[in-house]
């Protein structure tokens, strides 16, 4: 071999070796970073940048917590504090579970196993960070509505014709070099046009196919784990045939590395239309196996959810496993509001309710916060088995709330109509826990008190009612309810709240005093006080 050719060969091998070595270094650094993130997840929450709509991907309309109750209890905000999943898949599974009220002892056993094997759990977490790191909407749209792409389908014959002609042009070099060169150049132009067209039509799908292949890689890594997770890892075996099909149909998809290897692949692809052929093959495969791919994704998501749940569970100091009761007893010791707990400003409350409750108190005294504290803890209790408290017991019932009612100009729904519809769904769902705030406040005093009285009585016959109201008249009229209240102390032109639940009906009001503190004109404040006194003494009928 001439010396010059030997030098070129050695130089070529050195370049290839350097490229490969650099890629090995990058891959090793990437894996070390993921390992550090997974191990650090036990100490601090992983940064979230998910599309809020994608979090709802696994909801299927069969959930027990409806959207109004979820919104009322500010569960999205609580979820953002609580979720410690490693990937969006785990977050989606947790979001669904908190809507499902389906806690079982199996959940606790899985969490206990994870907490006893943190190192193995961190290894699993690292793999979720690595393989389910997609953030785009296209993957979830593909799993929801994958269908044949007619434009790609129409190009399929041309793609394969061009591929075989490329092979023919190479063989033709040994017969007619000039003709082969001419055909080769023409095919380069045609192949370039096809690749550009296919790339434009399928760029989103191509990334989604890579994500599906990542599910296969994650599956294989999970199979190596020492964790059992009450059979969750072993149950993945039911997807073995799908995993083989993914490897067969998506295994040849090229993943860009950002290195010089990408250039080599592009040259190869232009010659053999590899990406275009892969897109056609992959599209057919996904359309035929969409349900199976979704089931694999859900099973993987559940595993990540439990990893995150274990981390969340350990991070909460003031928590307890829930004591489920057969009767209507609802009791708690030092029950916290989850949002305020995470902010470090929670005032816990202790109570024991064995019948329906009417809650009264002044403005801003803590009524609505207490209702949300109770409701959100019921969701945690019935979905995950624990609560933000030292002790919490409750019956296993569905939960409905009417707290943050909103009118809608767009839907031509008034506030009172929206409230009426919200409460009607409670009437239609028996044997539940009902949480209501300022019932029927969208109408006049006489109608409000009358409607509230008999609606609350009706609901109390078919479930457990926790209602808050400013209408002190209801404390005497609702003889089958127990009364509780929140109160305040006015000191030095200021109102001080302790946010502690107390037995009995409220005996104070502070609305006019708040006007004074906020420097309303004396004319308004003094005349309002005088007129309220007249109303109290019933000197004027309303």
Give the C-alpha separation, 505 to 344, whole Å.
29
Give the C-alpha separation, 386 to 374, whole Å.
13
Tokens of 158: 């041309």
Give the C-alpha separation, 524 to 489, whole Å.
22
Give the pLDDT confidence score for residue 540 in this predicted structure. Answer: 45
DSSP 8-state code for residue 238: G
Only one residue has tokens 């809608």, namely: 408
Query: Which residue numbers in the chain have pLDDT < 70?
Result: 1-8, 12, 19, 22-23, 25-27, 30, 134-136, 146-170, 172-173, 180, 183-185, 187-204, 251-276, 407-412, 538-542
Beta bridge partners of 323: 393
Give the pLDDT confidence score for residue 370 in this predicted structure. Answer: 96
User: Which pLDDT tens digit goes with each residue over 230-283?
Assistant: 999 999 999 999 999 998 887 666 555 555 455 555 555 555 666 667 777 777
User: Which backbone phi and psi does 436 adopt, to 5 degrees?
Assistant: -130, 140
Q: Is the dihedral of CA 514, 516, 521, 524 positive or negative?
A: positive
- String of DSSP letters for 48-63: ----TTGGGTT--S--
User: Which backbone phi and psi does 28 adopt, to 5 degrees?
Assistant: -65, -40
Give the pLDDT confidence score for residue 250 in this predicted structure. Answer: 79
Beta-carbon count within 10 A of 29 CB: 10
Give the C-alpha separation, 470 to 457, whole Å.
17
| 183, 211 Cβ separation under 8 angstroms | no
| 428, 294 Cβ separation under 8 angstroms | no
Give the pLDDT confidence score for residue 542 in this predicted structure. Answer: 43
Instruction: Pick the closest to residue 313 from 27, 121, 541, 84 (CA basis).
Output: 84
Give the C-alpha separation, 378 to 380, whole Å.
5
Give the C-alpha separation, 395 to 397, whole Å.
6
Give the C-alpha separation, 427 to 436, whole Å.
13
Q: What is the mean pLDDT of the chain?
A: 84
- Radius of gyration from C-alpha coordinates of the chain: 32
User: Which backbone phi and psi does 166 adopt, to 5 degrees?
Assistant: -60, -45
- Global pTM value: 0.84
């Amino acid at each position: 071999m001439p010396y010059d050719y030997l030098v070129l060969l050695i130089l070529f091998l050195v370049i290839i070796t350097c490229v490969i070595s650099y890629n090995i270094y990058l891959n090793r650094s990437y894996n070390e970073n993921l390992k550090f993130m997974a191990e650090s997840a036990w100490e601090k929450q992983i940064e979230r940048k998910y599309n809020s709509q994608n979090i709802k991907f696994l909801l299927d309309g069969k959930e027990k917590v409806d959207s109004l109750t979820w919104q009322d209890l500010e569960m999205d905000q609580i979820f953002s504090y609580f979720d410690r999943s490693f990937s969006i898949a785990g977050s989606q599974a947790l979001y669904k579970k908190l809507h499902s009220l389906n806690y079982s002892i199996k959940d606790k056993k899985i969490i206990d196993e994870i907490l006893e094997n943190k190192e193995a759990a961190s290894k699993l977490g690292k793999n979720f960070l690595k393989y389910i790191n997609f953030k785009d909407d296209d993957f979830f749209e593909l799993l929801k509505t994958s269908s044949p792409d007619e434009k790609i389908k129409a190009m399929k014959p041309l793609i394969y014709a061009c591929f075989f002609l490329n092979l023919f042009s190479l063989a033709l070099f040994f017969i007619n070099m000039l003709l082969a060169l001419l055909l080769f150049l023409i095919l380069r132009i045609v192949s370039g046009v096809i690749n550009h067209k296919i790339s434009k039509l399928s760029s989103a799908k191509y990334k989604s196919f890579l994500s599906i292949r990542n599910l296969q890689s994650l599956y294989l890594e999970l199979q190596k784990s020492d964790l059992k997770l009450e059979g969750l890892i072993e149950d993945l075996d039911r997807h073995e045939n799908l995993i083989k099909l993914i490897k067969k149909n998506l295994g040849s998809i090229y993943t860009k590395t950002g290195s010089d290897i990408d250039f080599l692949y592009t040259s190869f692809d232009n010659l053999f239309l590899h990406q275009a052929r892969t897109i056609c093959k992959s599209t057919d495969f996904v359309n035929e196996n969409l349900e199976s791919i979704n089931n694999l994704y859900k099973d993987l998501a559940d595993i990540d959810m439990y990893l995150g749940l274990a981390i969340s569970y350990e991070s909460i100091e003031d928590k307890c496993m829930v004591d489920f009761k057969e009767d209507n007893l609802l009791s708690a010791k030092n029950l916290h509001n989850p949002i305020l707990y995470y902010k470090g400003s929670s005032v816990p409350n202790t109570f024991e309710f064995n019948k329906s409750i009417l809650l009264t108190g002044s403005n801003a005294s803590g009524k609505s916060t207490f209702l949300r504290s109770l409701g959100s803890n019921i969701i945690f209790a019935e979905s995950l088995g624990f609560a933000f408290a030292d002790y919490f017991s409750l019956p296993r019932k569905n939960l409905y709330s009417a707290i943050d009612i909103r009118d809608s100009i767009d839907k031509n729904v008034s506030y009172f109509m929206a409230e009426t519809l919200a409460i009607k769904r409670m009437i239609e769902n028996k044997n539940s826990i009902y949480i209501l705030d300022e019932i029927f406040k969208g109408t006049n005093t006489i109608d409000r008190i009358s409607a509230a009285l008999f609606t609350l009585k009706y609901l109390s016959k078919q479930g457990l009612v926790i209602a808050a109201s400013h209408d002190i008249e209801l404390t005497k009229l609702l003889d089958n309810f127990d009364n509780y209240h929140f109160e305040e102390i006015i000191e030095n032109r200021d109102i001080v709240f302790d946010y502690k639940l107390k037995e009995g009906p409220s005996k104070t009001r502070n609305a006019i005093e708040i006007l004074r503190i906020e420097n309303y004109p004396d004319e308004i404040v003094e005349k309002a006080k005088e007129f309220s006194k007249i109303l109290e003494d019933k000197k004027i009928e309303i």
